[in-house]
Structure formats: structure tokens, C-alpha cells
Structure 1
């Protein structure tokens, strides 16, 4: 009976530690993402994209509403991800010379637009900060595991 009670106490301590970890790092754990299960795996989002007629060429990024910029950033990130998957950019054998030129050009434009939007949204700096915090949490967990 004492062994069962000790096991239950260990389980409760583990649950408490998990809850403390979540409450301490809830901002990291609750971050919205655009690379999730709904992220496109093809270039369908840009099928009708007219390179020379995009409003984003001349958009007033410096005076853009942050909520609008975040929404635009989410759509552009999804579109760029779909193109990346379609082109196979993530693979070592990706060949820039033989890839679809139109999709490569659109990928480059979307990257430029996202860079412009980042000036409004601050997404890259926020992601770098979250990565830094995540690394710290991982280091803490590994140090705790090593000390056991």
C-alpha cells in the first residue's frame, strides 16, 4: 500500500511540475502559427496571381494597420509555403535552374512582401524571442533530467 501511495505522490508531483511549466511559458505555448495542419502543400493560392498587378507592390507599408498586416502576413506565409512545397525547396536535390521560373519569381516577391510586412508586425523579432525562450526551456529541462 505504501508503494502505491508513493507512486501516486510521484504522479501528482509530475502533474504539478507540468502545470507550472505551462503556466510559466504559456505565451510561448499559445503562439499562433501558420505552418500547421492547414498549411497548403501546393501553389493553388497563387494560381491567379498577376505579378504586375499586385496591390502589395505599392502598398503603404509604413502606414498599414497592424491587424491587416498580420492577416496579410498569414495569407502570404501560407502561399509561400505552398510554393516551397510545390517546388521542393526544402529538399537537398532542389535545383534552382530547373525549377518553375514563374513560381520562383512569385516566391521571391512573396518573400519581399513579407519582409515589408515584418516592419509593421515585428514577426521575425517575436519569433527570434520565442526561439530564445524555447531554447532556455529546453536547456532547463535537459539540466533537470541530467541532475536526476
Structure 2
């Protein structure tokens, strides 16, 4: 069997460098997330996304801004879907920046890191959406 060619020399040292770079980057992304998360809101998870989703609903539906009326509060899973849409808007501007400027663009590395952080936050939103949908399904089955 032939061995795949290795760009840059010894495959063992290249792999070690690759693994070290990716691991270090994950550590940096963790610190980036912690720093940015502390800048948003009062400490309630995803408060900025929820507020953005509320504002978008009010603007696009021409409704007064309100979050206190119990009839106007949508099901929990709908909040998660709205926050998914909101964070996708944040992420999209970075995706467009990378697509427009390519590998040699200014601050492409920062945009790629932001995209990675948003992807992990979207994993959390996905988890919470699934939990809310399961909870509602269970409640509906009990109510039969």
C-alpha cells in the first residue's frame, strides 16, 4: 500500500502541530465566548437574542413592543426558533464577510472564530428547542 503524500514533511509532526493548533483555538474560542457573553445583558442566557427576536416580531408584524401580556407570549419552542433565527442573522454577516473577502481578507480570522462560537450557541438552542418540543408533546399526550 502506498502512503498518502504529506505536505510539509513528517506526517507525525504535522499532525501534532495540527492537533495543537485546533486545541489551542478551541481554548481561545472558549475565552472569546466567556468575554462576549459577559457583555450581553443581565446574565440570563441568550437575553440579547430573545430581545432581538421580540423586536423583530414587533417591527415586522407592526405590533406594539410588549413582552408582559401572557396571551402574547408564544410557546417556549417558538422562542427557541426565533432565537435561532436571530443568531443566524448575527452569524450571516460573518459568513458574508468571509465569502466576500476570501482567505486574504482583513479580519477573516476573527469572523471565522465568531462563526464557530455562533455554531456552538446554535447547538445549545437546538438542544433547548428539542427539549421544549418534547415537553409540549408530553403535555399534549397527558391532556388526551
Short-chain TM bin: 0.3 to 0.5
Q: Which has the higher contact order (CA 8 A, sep 6+)?
A: 1
Normalised by the length of structure 1, the TM-score is 0.34
